[in-house]
Structure 1
Amino acid sequence: MFNKLLQKVTSPQPPSLKEGSLSMKDLDPRVTVHYGIPSTASVLAFDPIQRLLAVGTLDGRIKVIGGDNIEGLFVSPKQLPFKNLEFLRNQGFLVSVSNENEIQVWDLEHRRINSTLRWESNITAFSVIHSTSYMYLGDEYGMVSVLKYDAEEGKFTQLPYYVPTDVIAEGTGISSSNQSSVVGVLPQPCSQGKRLLIAYDNGLIVLWDVSDDKVVLVRGNKDLQLKGKSIVHSSQSVRPELSEDLQDSEQEEKEISSLCWASTDGKPKITSTDVVKLQLSSADRRLPVIVLHWSADRSHNGGQLFVYGGDGIGSEEVLTMLCLDWSSGIESLKCVGRVDLTLTGSFADMVLLPSLGGMESCGTLLFVLSNPGQLDVYDDACLSSLMSRKEKGTSASSLQYPMVIPTIEPYMTVGKLGLVYRDGKFSRDLSKEVSAAKVQASHTPSATLTGSMKWPLTGGVPCQFNDTEGALVERLYVAGYQDGSVRIWDATYPALSLIYVLGSELAGFKTASASAPVSALEFCSSTLSLAIGNACGMVRVESFDVCLLLW
């Protein structure tokens, strides 16, 4: 998939110096290759079939990540935030919706925008029907429309079908003139997109049958028979309890801010109006619930509900996992456990991934995106361990997304790009040394997270250029770190590969100054020597067969 991304980078020809030959484009530097998670990352999407993760930013960039160092960077013409991001699963396309309601389809193989559609109204809800090219769009006027992307023609088609507001109004008993904006559109699981859950910001929820054009189910705050309120206390020392004591304020209509299916098959009891409220904090003023995600357990008699929000205003920022059990029915729902994951930065987004080689019932992986630009992954074993501790604000040793070129851990102090003369003997000798010295293990962790869980991102086509016979090293990237170490990569191709890690220790020399932060680097391509200076005034020269120490 990413073969276009990883093609060999040829040395650019110098521009002509004739008068009038340069344009503004020639003087406009652009990032074409990027490693790691952008600092302005804000939204996630995942393709469970091709095992690809997409990260959207606040400045119009999209990072697509696979396995074996595969990272693709897509840059939108407008530097605007994305409010929606979803894959057309297993089709090689990614759909984004910008804050200006521009819908874009990105071709992952050719790294370009295939089609763009500017929506006239404000898009307030967006969803792709799984394994299809059909999309539901909800807007500020209560309308739900249907789009289709034609991959062969490379364009959008707005279907004549839409969910009529007058029929919704008739089915719900609410005047169409009072119709609120759509805040969520979720196809019912296992319905092939034929049934759609529509949520409005006034608290109304409608299950709509697309085939028969009719309302199947209507729910709202006033017609829900509240069986009890499960108060999920902040302290795990207090067991969650059900209470029938409901204040009048809790019966008032409230705006819907997020929703998710808490079911693998999406089969609600049509005649049931039972509901249980889960309250994460007893504080009078609580944060809105921004994110809800559901993961079913193996028995399908409950599962884990992931919640961001709902805690008291001013409380520590956490992502909450609630373990729920309704084996005796929804009216007897129990909260049997709670974990508050302490975030290292401000929360941005999360996705749940089916584990490798398994369905949802075999366990899931949790990816959490936080700012600035950090991606953490938790597996079932890690979350179960946290649950057993029964502590609030638990900090877990999650696996962070590995940086091909680490900049924070360890902390990079200086970097240098060095060119190697391709026609020289040193280049041929270096290429032989590099071929033998390259680290054989992949930088993307194929090792375990906890137990036997493998790194879940495996999509994309790895670069093969630097494995071809006779390939020469043309560029090196050298980085110095605060701990005195130096790392060297083969930078001939976009997929950098690690060659050497030079520690601060020097054979035959014992000095505390050797571990001082690296402050300067210089590479000589004609002799293949590297000069390293540190903060204590020490300079050492490294080559393949000699090491000099200068004071």
Structure 2
Amino acid sequence: MDKAKRRLASALDGFRSNHSKMDISVDERVNSEHCCLKKVVRFGFPDESRCLAYDPVQRLLAIGTEHGTVRIIGEVGVDHILRHGTDHGVNHIQFVINDGSLITACSNDMIHLWNYRLKVPEIKLSIEMNKENVSTIHLPMNSKYLYVGTIKGNVYFVSLDTFQLSPYVIMWNKAIDLSCRIHPGPVRQIAACPTDPSKILIAFERGIVIQWNLATKEVDRFPLDPPIKSVSWHYDGKQVMTGNVDGSVSVFNTKKTSEPAHKSFPHGQTDCRPIPNIDWKHTGENEQVVVFSGGMPTDDGLPPPALTILKASRHATVMEMENPIISFITLQQVPYNSSPQQPHAIAVLLKHDLMIIDLQTPGYPIIESPHAMDLHESPVTCLQYYSDCPSDLIGALTLVGYKQRKKGFSERQWPINGGHGRECATGFQELVITGHKDGSLRFWQASGENLQILYRLKTGSHFERLEELESSEKVSHAIKYIEMCLESRLLLVAGISGQVTLFRFAKSETTNTIAVVHIPNLCVTSNSSIVDERPGLSSQSSKEMKRQKKVVSRDSTASPDTSDASGDERIVPFKVRGAPVKRPAGYQPELACLIPWPSHVSSDMVTSIALNSAYGVIAIGTTSGLALVDIAQCALIYAWSTAELYGSDPTPAIQLSNQLSDASSPLESPGCLSEPRNNLIRLNTDTRQKSLDKRPLLFKAQSVIEQHSNGSPRGEHPKESPSLSRSGNTSSPAVSTHSLEKLGLGESVTSVQFIHSCSKRNEAKTSPCIWIGTSTGAAIALNLILPQDRLVSTVVVAPSGTIVRMKGQILLHAFMDEKFCIVSPASESYKESSRESKDSGSPEKSVTNKIVTKPSLSPAYSSSLDCSDEVNQFLIVVAENEIKVIALPSFSQAFHYKTEEIPLVKAVPTHVRGHPVLMCLTAAGYIQVISLPSLRLLHSAQLLPRSVDVDDPICHQTAFSEHGLGIFMTSPSEMEKYTICTELAEQTADSMGELYVTCEMPEAPKSSSFLKGVSSIFGNSPRQADATDLECILSGDKDKSVIGGSAGMRSIARTIPGPAANMDRAHASGISAGQAAQMALQNLNERSDKLNAVVDSTENLKNSAMNMASRSTKLVEKFEKKKWYNF
């Protein structure tokens, strides 16, 4: 056997070096200018959120993240992302109220001023702190200076006009009491007085709080016992509320800060957690509303995150959260803090969620968000994206999903409704299906640049775990693959534990049972066929026909026992609930396929799935083989180990008969083309039910005899196929290792494709086929013979003997017709009664391929082909290290593209402006656009920030679709849509909504300035500084004794102009010589005009002077002659 194996391997290596090529010249209309990578919109909850900000006039909410991005959300369709140049986290964020500006402070001590009045927001100015680290920022209402607190405990002031530091600085040693011998720590919070902008509160990390007067530099200190964690002003500016370390709440009078005027313990005087955030608001009826986080008692251990709401007329309301609270903001109707703010909702930013609490409804319910913030409620494990979904399917999913809407939400509309929403740029009906770790599927409508939930499906509700595997981590309902037929609405779902379920859509609720198909243990067959080399020993498990021993009809009321499918010991982690169940409208399970595990520690995982509603067959590829299941009869058609897919076992385990021995064996003549016409693998029918244990062997000796009878000399290569091995090999070896080494490696099925195509060399007839790709680079074709009446007859599978060898794992099989149009397999249209009635007509009428590409946009031949080179189809095989376009039925290589330096991990055929292209994802995280069929590289751009592998989870979380659109999980909680089409990118840019909407600023509350002035005159209190005085104070115009002036601040911070300023400067400096000469002439003319005006003015002055001199002379003469005495 070793000798035979070596001869087989050497023969295969020799034939792989030979391949035929076909010279084809194609005129393609697509070029690199038509392709670009443009990210369209991002959905979901911002990952690693850190801070929160709200503009009460524009009604926009901003969320800063650890990844250096800012999400700004408003009404439906208003969801924009702001990206900094680096990945440094956004620690603090502030809106410039109703100004179209946003301020962000990042972890690299850079403060940026954003302008979101533009359709594409950009950074206007930036400032970098060189010697200080930013710990907090604060922007008072209508202030022209940003207050910046640092880790050293100092407070700086940044001008919003120039983004330069003010010479006015509050040093920490000037703020604390001289008796305090410890550093107060970083500045935790800064709060300006709502009525007197010259007074600010500064809270330090160690619990020290001071009140600083910017005009007089006077300091009022609050008591340190207990330490204060957060502060909030009363709207009249005379009282301050503090949240303390011991969970208490204190109220201080600003004129007497030495002791609190009132102190309370909302959750009792037991040991409580600190209160890190507190907010003090008042309603229109002057009813106070106090909101704070933390402060919960610690009697029972670590308390859950909670938000407490206090109202004067009611008891305290505690809202426990599932995730830690990052921050919260009280949404108010009045933007000014110097009057009752009229709060109406609370925006709470949690670690993994964003919720809006309704304060106007009793019970404080949650307001339902129009944005998909719960995308990651269960971790997303896989994605499927359809950019051309039928509209009737969207409508059907909406109807069945309406009843699933969660109850208990507030009836109020979404209050954060600022901006103008995006328009639908593509005009396509887009559907996104997300598979989750808990076994659930979610259907989302992604049209109109907005992600909206349509329908939820639980795929694990009909499974039960075995008791002995209840605690196993590998037994999970997590989704791994999703395959959907849009026309028939069939849905095929595969889990990571070897469970595969077929769902059928129903518009009404029905009662049904689930048919169960047990897949044989292919691992045993694969191992025995490779390891056992003794010619006299036959492994029964590898030689028996692997079919369903017990066919379960749909009308059965119980599922078979999970261990009843075979005699060997195997482990099936799930069993199907067999009792009839009344299921609601929507997707209902119809068929479940269970794949056994080889042991308790290893599983035979699903590696690929395929569904064809027209053929009525599903294919399940695993790490050790392939199984075909008939969905019309709910029975197993056949199951192969990967070695058996080649038509014969690599090492035959039984002796051939004398008749077969006389013929040239495949080991002696490996070059013979295998075309087994009679060696058919049939499903179990009534006539063959008794011979299930007798498996028809697929030895090549039969094929050799068949080839010999057709006229080919025994043991010689056919002259018309010098490039094909005994299995139809048409390409070079997949890897450099010896073939004998490959025979011992585990080989899995990585790609499965149903298609109506040519499967044998030089046979132009097309028929239903299934193309199988393996992890070792083999593309294998099997023929499917479909009967006319599927309920009576069964499907027949015939090996075609065709194998295409590639370098690396097979990723994709795609097909084009003779006119270079992409074709897709046939599908069955959706019917209400499709369960009971099947098409009994001729299968040829319903199994022909569908043309996806418009013939007017497809490539064309630049020169006519030779008549002998007849081409019916083109096969596109994509592997990790190469792509080949093969002409059928001659199986000649037409085009070739190598990717050995950076392998591919994913590929899908699509269209750019209607022209066929191939969209690929490389191991470096780049998107490559390759033309079809000539395989020219059109565009390459980075999509993922890191390198990936074929088995990387991100490959399952990335989906390509039609029209050059794609979607991927950019973080565990965010999904981003992109396009590779320049036309779509321009359309999305034109239809992009606007964040800033021109709004009139509400009228400011009237202040009794006259009474305050009178009190300051007749009293001892100094006059309050207004905004103009405060601007002069902070600019240093009134105080020349500040340290170093403006020049001294340059060593602390450096101002950096934004891209817009740099562009203006470039435009100002980038002028031509002609423009410079024209400007010089214009300046000369202006100078001449000014000189003429000066001459005229001088002449006028001269005349005026002469007139005045003459008048003065006359006046002098008059008074000289006049007598000064009058007597």
Q: Per the shorter chain, which TM-score range?
A: 0.5 to 0.7
d(CA) in 1 for partners of 2:265, 2:483: 59
Give the 3-state SS of the residue equivalent to 2:416 in structure 1: coil
**CA 1:405–1:83 in structure 2 vs 1: closer, same or farther (change >3 Å)?**
closer
Q: Which residue of 1 aligns with 2:502?
A: 538
| CA-CA distance at 1:136 after TM superposition | 0.5
Q: Which residue of 1 aligns with 2:324?
A: 346
Could you tell me the TM-score, scaled by structure 1's length?
Answer: 0.65
d(CA) in 2 for partners of 1:504, 1:138: 50
**CA 1:379–1:405 in structure 2 vs 1: closer, same or farther (change >3 Å)?**
closer
d(CA) in 1 for partners of 2:202, 2:280: 18
**CA 1:369–1:504 in structure 2 vs 1: closer, same or farther (change >3 Å)?**
closer
| Structure 1, unpaired ranges of 5+ | 1-12, 17-25, 222-251, 326-334, 387-396, 421-426, 506-510
d(CA) in 1 for partners of 2:430, 2:168: 56
Matched, 1:257 2:224: no
Q: Which residue of 1 aligns with 2:467?
A: none
Q: 1:131-183: per-residue Cα shift (whole Å, max 9, x none)? A: 44421012234422211223xxxx622223333667646xx566899676433
Q: 1:315-358: per-residue Cα shift (whole Å, max 9, x none)? A: 32232425365xxxxxxxxx963222111112211111025999
- RMSD over aligned CA atoms reads 4.6
Q: Which residue of 1 aligns with 2:421?
A: 462
Q: Which residue of 1 aligns with 2:304?
A: 317
Q: Which residue of 2 aligns with 1:303?
A: 289
Letter matched to residue 182 of structure 1: V
| CA-CA distance at 1:89 after TM superposition | 1.4
How many residue pairs get matched? Answer: 438
The partner residue of 1:277 within 239, 254, 263 is 263
d(CA) in 1 for partners of 2:385, 2:59: 32
Q: Which residue of 2 aligns with 1:393?
A: none
**CA 1:270–1:476 in structure 2 vs 1: closer, same or farther (change >3 Å)?**
closer
The partner residue of 1:116 within 119, 126, 147 is 126
Q: 1:216-266: per-residue Cα shift (whole Å, max 9, x none)? A: x61321xxxxxxxxxxxxxxxxxxxxxxxxxxxxxx6454332222x1121
d(CA) in 2 for partners of 1:255, 1:162: 25
| CA-CA distance at 1:68 after TM superposition | 1.0
Give the 3-state SS of the residue equivalent to 2:415 in structure 1: coil
d(CA) in 1 for partners of 2:207, 2:377: 46
d(CA) in 1 for partners of 2:187, 2:414: 37
Matched, 1:157 2:164: yes
Matched, 1:213 2:172: no
**CA 1:39–1:502 in structure 2 vs 1: closer, same or farther (change >3 Å)?**
closer
Whether the aligned pair in 2 keeps the contact of 1:356 and 1:454 (CA below 8 Å) is no
Q: How high is the sequence identity, in percent, across the aligned residues?
A: 17
| CA-CA distance at 1:60 after TM superposition | 2.0
Q: Which residue of 1 aligns with 2:354?
A: 375
| CA-CA distance at 1:283 after TM superposition | 7.3
Larger Rg over CA atoms: 2
Give the 3-state SS of the residue equivalent to 1:161 in structure 2: coil
**Structure having greater relative contact order (Cα 8 Å, sep ≥ 6):** 2
Q: Which residue of 2 aligns with 1:20?
A: none
Whether the aligned pair in 1 keeps the contact of 2:345 and 2:360 (CA below 8 Å) is no
State how 1:378-417 maps to structure 2 within 5 Å. Answer: 378-382=357-361, 384-385=362-363, 398-399=366-367, 401-404=369-372, 407=375, 414-417=382-385
Letter matched to residue 218 of structure 1: D
The partner residue of 1:94 within 102, 107, 123 is 102
Q: Which residue of 1 aligns with 2:769?
A: none
| CA-CA distance at 1:77 after TM superposition | 3.3
Letter matched to residue 537 of structure 1: T
d(CA) in 1 for partners of 2:259, 2:180: 26
**CA 1:256–1:98 in structure 2 vs 1: closer, same or farther (change >3 Å)?**
farther
**CA 1:304–1:532 in structure 2 vs 1: closer, same or farther (change >3 Å)?**
same
d(CA) in 1 for partners of 2:378, 2:83: 29
d(CA) in 1 for partners of 2:185, 2:376: 46
Q: 1:451-498: per-residue Cα shift (whole Å, max 9, x none)? A: 5x32111012111245xxxx642754345688887736354x533567
| CA-CA distance at 1:51 after TM superposition | 0.8
State how 1:119-198 maps to structure 2 within 5 Å. Answer: 119=129, 120-150=131-161, 156-163=163-170, 168=175, 181-191=186-196, 193-198=197-202
| CA-CA distance at 1:528 after TM superposition | 5.4
Give the 3-state SS of the residue equivalent to 1:344 in structure 2: coil
Whether the aligned pair in 2 keeps the contact of 1:70 and 1:460 (CA below 8 Å) is yes
| CA-CA distance at 1:536 after TM superposition | 5.4
**CA 1:286–1:94 in structure 2 vs 1: closer, same or farther (change >3 Å)?**
same
Could you tell me the TM-score, scaled by structure 2's length?
Answer: 0.34
Q: 1:346-403: per-residue Cα shift (whole Å, max 9, x none)? A: 22111110259999554421122222x2112211245x537xxxxxxxxxx5345444
| Structure 2, unpaired ranges of 5+ | 1-29, 240-252, 464-476, 494-498, 505-612, 614-826, 839-1127
Q: Which residue of 1 aligns with 2:571?
A: none
Give the 3-state SS of the residue equivalent to 1:157 in structure 2: coil
Whether the aligned pair in 2 keeps the contact of 1:258 and 1:292 (CA below 8 Å) is yes
Higher helix share: 2
Matched, 1:489 2:445: yes
d(CA) in 1 for partners of 2:195, 2:200: 11
d(CA) in 1 for partners of 2:148, 2:320: 34
**CA 1:341–1:412 in structure 2 vs 1: closer, same or farther (change >3 Å)?**
same
* The 10-residue stretch of structure 1 (410-419 or 454-463) with the greater mean CA deviation from structure 2: 410-419
d(CA) in 1 for partners of 2:165, 2:408: 45
d(CA) in 1 for partners of 2:91, 2:216: 29
| CA-CA distance at 1:56 after TM superposition | 1.7
Give the 3-state SS of the residue equivalent to 2:363 in structure 1: helix
d(CA) in 2 for partners of 1:483, 1:164: 57
Letter matched to residue 188 of structure 2: V
Give the 3-state SS of the residue equivalent to 1:337 in structure 2: coil
**CA 1:289–1:31 in structure 2 vs 1: closer, same or farther (change >3 Å)?**
farther
Give the 3-state SS of the residue equivalent to 1:68 in structure 2: coil
d(CA) in 1 for partners of 2:829, 2:440: 19
Letter matched to residue 114 of structure 1: K
**CA 1:317–1:464 in structure 2 vs 1: closer, same or farther (change >3 Å)?**
same
| CA-CA distance at 1:127 after TM superposition | 0.2
